[in-house]
Amino acid sequence: MSVEKGREITISVLKFNPRSKVSKPHYVDYKLEETPGMTLFIALMKIREEMDPDLSFDFVCRAGICGSCGMVVNGKPALACRTLIANYPEGKLTLLPMPAFELIKDLSVNTGKWMDGMSKRVESWIVSDHEVDISKMEDRIEPDVANETFELDRCIECGICVASCGTKLMRPDFVGPVGLNRVARFEVDPHDKRTAEDFYELIGDDDGIFGCMSLLACEDHCPKHLPLQNKIAYLRRKLVALR
Ligand code: SF4
Ligand code: FES
């Protein structure tokens, strides 16, 4: 019995090692056969195993959970493990590392370092006026408030909204949609006792809430479909009154 062959696809990758004195940015084309249900992650693994062991890219979970595999696919930031090759009928994918983050090599960027800086900048932790006694039951909160907090907490820190953000490319210190979403998460959480004035101190400038140009690409590309623009607009309305 003959097995039907899949179509040939071409994956073109911008390769560069910034730590090498001889490396220069250049594209390498890899041709391979598409298999049923093939994701970009599977294709990259095949390339690394069979064609180019030197190719660098990141992954951990393969399931859209860890946020490691972000890259720019035909001009749009996306998770490689959630990108189906079948959705590219022309069979040609061009891959670049996400901008706005430190390049490690090829498609691998240091989102962790950036997220750490962002978390410190927006003081991404509960600020409360009383010590938490972990032997006691947690404070009760309204289910709809808990749901809203959990909704915003679904962020996987993939950095795709940052790589999609026009403001971030113009303002290197912009805290990014993920940072503003983080503030929105603590603003809605009744465990956090910070006031609007406290949040204004953190993000009340053009590198924070007033820098966003509402281009919407962050929300368009967020793999978790977080309501980034709604939350940014809400925070901006709340904090502009303090200007
Ligand atoms: S807000 Fe969305 S796109 Fe941005 S880091 Fe979180 S999950 Fe990724
Ligand atoms: S490998 Fe974890 S999100 Fe893609």
Count the domains in the chain.
2
- Joined together, the tokens standing for residue 151 give 């909704």
Q: Dump pLDDT digits (tens) for 185-202.
A: 999 999 999 999 999 999
Q: Is 81 in the pocket of ligand 2 (CB under 6 A)?
A: yes
DSSP string, 149-163: HHHHTT-----HHHH
pLDDT bucket at 131, cuts 50 / 70 / 90:
confident
pLDDT bucket at 99, cuts 50 / 70 / 90:
very high
Distance CA 198, CA 208 (A): 13
Q: Please identify, among 82, 109, 136, the residue that sits at the C-terminal boundary of a domain.
A: 109
Do 134 and 233 fall into the same domain?
A: yes
In a domain, 134, yes or no: yes
Do 223 and 135 fall into the same domain?
A: yes
> Cα torsion at 160, 173, 198, 147 (round to 10°)?
0
In a domain, 1, yes or no: no
Can you give the residue range of the structural domain that contains 63? Answer: 8-109
Q: Is the pLDDT of residue 3 over 70?
A: no
Do 152 and 183 fall into the same domain?
A: yes
Q: Please identify, among 109, 131, 147, the residue that sits at the C-terminal boundary of a domain.
A: 109
Do 219 and 128 fall into the same domain?
A: yes
- Can you give the pLDDT at residue 150? 95
Of all atoms in ligand 1, which is nearest to the CA of residue 218? 3
In a domain, 3, yes or no: no
Q: In terms of Cα–Cα distance, which of 106, 114, 111 is closest to 18?
A: 106
- Joined together, the tokens standing for residue 89 give 């009928």
Do 58 and 159 fall into the same domain?
A: no
Whether the CB-CB separation of 115 and 159 falls below 8 Å is answered with yes
Instruction: Kindly report the number of other CB atoms within 10 A of residue 157's CB atom.
Output: 20
Query: Quick one: which ligand is closest to 160's CA?
Result: 1
CATH of the domain at 177: 1.10.1060.10
The Cα diameter of the chain in Å comes to 74
Helix axes 176-188, 196-203, angle to 10 degrees: 170
Q: Is 42 in the pocket of ligand 2 (CB under 6 A)?
A: no
Q: Please identify, among 81, 109, 137, the residue that sits at the C-terminal boundary of a domain.
A: 109
Do 39 and 126 fall into the same domain?
A: no
Label the pairing between strands 8-15 and 92-96: parallel
In a domain, 101, yes or no: yes
